[in-house]
A and B are shown apart, each in its own frame.
Chain A
Amino acid sequence: MIMIVIAVIAAAVGGLIAGLKVPLLFLPFLFFAKEKKKKDIFLLLFLLYALAIGYEFEIANIYSTDLPLVLCVVIPQLLLLDSGLKDEHPNFAKPKIIVISIISAFFFGWLVKEVFVGAVLIALAFEFSGENARRGIFAAVSSLALLIGALALAQGMLNLEGGAATQVVFIAAFSTLTALLFFRTSVDRQEFGAWITNKSKKR
């Protein structure tokens, strides 16, 4: 349960740094859903939470935005989503000293955004550590690098006054196409709402 606590604190502090109220409103419910081990409810709440935060936090132009502030808001959401979905194994209890250091860094980061971003990234690395991921990390990092590269290359075309819609379309199109490259393998997907229908147990 410690990772969800870290994620909730990170999301709350990140939200406060950016002056957002939505995280404070939603985070208790998300935490409660995770505590009760209701993954589907957590997903549903996260969907609403993401839409609400997307409505509240605004970036008009990606090229002229305060990047540390954006990272302060966006990275904790990923940490929150992952820790909410992941089943923590009791054997993987995180060392207390690291946990305390990270949480302390969050509060210190309230004053210095870069420290907060660094602490959240460490927490993220901590969350994904021990997964022995190779292909996934490669795909995620290369996709991100390609997106950043593409945004840099297309800056002349996209960096316009009131060009947010164009930037959104560009990001959406590029991300989707990149993801499609890796989504070719077929995997059985877990049923949503199994807690209502108990479908996942049926053969």
Chain B
Amino acid sequence: MKREDVLLLLISLLFVQGYLFRNVFPALFASLILLYLTYLHLEFSPAIESERQIARKLKDAERVKTKLRLKNLSNKRLTLDIFELLPPGFNAETPALILLEGEEREVEYFITPVRGIFKLRNPTIRATDTRGLYYADFLPDSESKKEVEVYPNLDKIREESKAGETLQFTKAYSALFGIQTLELDTLREFQPGDEQRHIDWKATTRLGELIVKEFLKETKGDVYIVLDAGKEMRKGIKSSKIDFATTLTLQLAYALRKSRLGLIVYDDYGIKRIEAARTKGSEHVEQIARSLNIGTIPTTLMGLKLSLPEKGLRIKEESRAFISKILPIVKGRRSSATSLVEAVSSLPATAFLIFIADITTNTSELIKVLLDLRKRHEIILLSPNPILFYDADSPDRETLIWLYERYKEREEIIKKLNGIVPTFDLGYSDLLDTIRGGFG
């Protein structure tokens, strides 16, 4: 039922009432309402002109301001509702406004896009008369489409990479850092996330600030950190993945100082350093720290399986394959896969293994090694994600599309590896405190 129908019903009822009750007044009243409706019906002829302004390059899941210039071409005041006809996954506000006769105004509202390249149509505008009885929809014409490119949002990718890892990491965390015992290890200042029941009230009263108890944790067997220090790990613009990996290794070493911890560092030339898991304690951690003196290779490339699209230099596929085979021999190095096999061959029969490695180079060899090792060892794989290390301020379109493709390719590898051992994609902020913070 429409609002106008209510008035038409009233008119009919008044006529019937007048006839049945022999009363002319309802009929006169009904005639007057009918005249009023005729007036409104004839006077409703809205005309709207609209034009949208939106940036061509947008970021995934980031609210973007769109401007809509509206002009009321009719001689009546109109109430306008704006409805966006957007591709699936997009979200938009539905602003409403009143436009006076002949008025021109610019409306600003927000759209949240999703990844891809889309052609956005102008929104549908519903013009309603001031009495709210009639409306007219102004649909966008097919020529009004504007192309927008929605690029992956690096921040969102970082968040997505972290999501879903929590549960897996919780399992690995308890295995890695052990089960908490009742034996007191040390006292420290309260930090957000600490459990209330661990507060040492006596120490708190004495020192005047919140102090919590830290308990010793039990771990099973020896722990080995197997660190990839190959070329791919050492590439970087401002900071390389190896910088992050060494910091993380140190933090892990300190966290595991109560366990017997070993370290194996390998690169493209073979095993670089090896620290057997013989002793425990802070001195051993310092020894490990000395072993972690690994430099960065300054480069503009990131550690990804495929290089950036080349524009200038063109080499035939056969030549490229030949160079990739011959170059390591000329330079006196082997592939990192061979080094990896050599590195794991130095491991004891059983241990908890923490791999910190690049997963996009020699993936198949890495998978083979992990499949073999998981029969005897408990393993977790930590891999610094090169995309999360990308720190250019304003990447161009090609770079972003290329980054996104690499990101998707990497996701597939992560999925595959997760089927074998728990695998974690890490960014520059995922140092141990951050990771542990998630489990407090």
- Residues on A facing B (Cβ under 8 Å): 39-40, 43-44, 46-47, 50-51, 53-55, 57-62, 65, 70, 73-74, 77-78, 81-82, 85-87, 89, 91, 131-133, 135-137, 139-140, 143-144, 147, 162, 164-165, 167-169, 171-172, 175-176, 178-179, 182-183, 185, 187-193, 200-201, 203
Contact = CB atoms under 8 A, between A and B. Distances in A.
Given A50-B10, A81-B36, A188-B137, 9 more contacts: A47-B6, A74-B25, A77-B32, A85-B132, A87-B98, A144-B35, A171-B30, A172-B18, A187-B134
A54 B30 CA distance: 10
Interface stretch (B123-131, B180-188, B236-244, B428-436): B123-131
B19 to A, nearest CB: 5
- Chain B, interface size category, equals 35 or more
B42 A136 contact: yes
B293 interface: no
Contact of A188 (B22, B27, B77, B135): B135
Contact of B136 (A51, A59, A187): A187
A152 B439 CA distance: 91
A139 B36 CA distance: 10
B133 A85 contact: yes
A78 B210 CA distance: 74
A188 to B, nearest CB: 5
B56 to A, nearest CB: 27
Contacts of A53: 29
A95 B268 CA distance: 87
A143 B134 CA distance: 22
Contacts of A178: 38
A168 B15 contact: yes
Contacts of A182: 38, 41-42
Cβ-closest 9 pairs across A and B: A54-B26, A136-B43, A189-B2, A136-B39, A168-B18, A132-B75, A85-B131, A164-B22, A175-B31
Count chain B CB atoms within 10 A of each CB in A144, A171, A172, A185 and give the residue with the most.
A172
Contacts of A43: 3, 6-7
Contact of A78 (B32, B43, B77): B32
B interface: dominant SS = helix
Contacts of B98: 87, 89
A184 to B, nearest CB: 10
A99 B352 CA distance: 88
A interface: dominant SS = helix
B79 interface: yes
A126 B193 CA distance: 67
B136 A188 contact: yes
Contact of A187 (B17, B29, B44, B101): B44
Contacts of B40: 136
A176 B2 CA distance: 19
Contacts of A86: 130-131
Contacts of B83: 203
Contact of A47 (B10, B18, B75): B10
A51 B169 CA distance: 73
B19 A165 contact: yes
Contacts of B13: 47, 51
B131 A82 contact: yes
B344 interface: no
A85 to B, nearest CB: 4
A131 B100 CA distance: 10
B2 A190 contact: yes
Count chain A CB atoms within 10 A of each CB in B43, B100, B136 and give the residue with the most.
B43
B141 interface: no
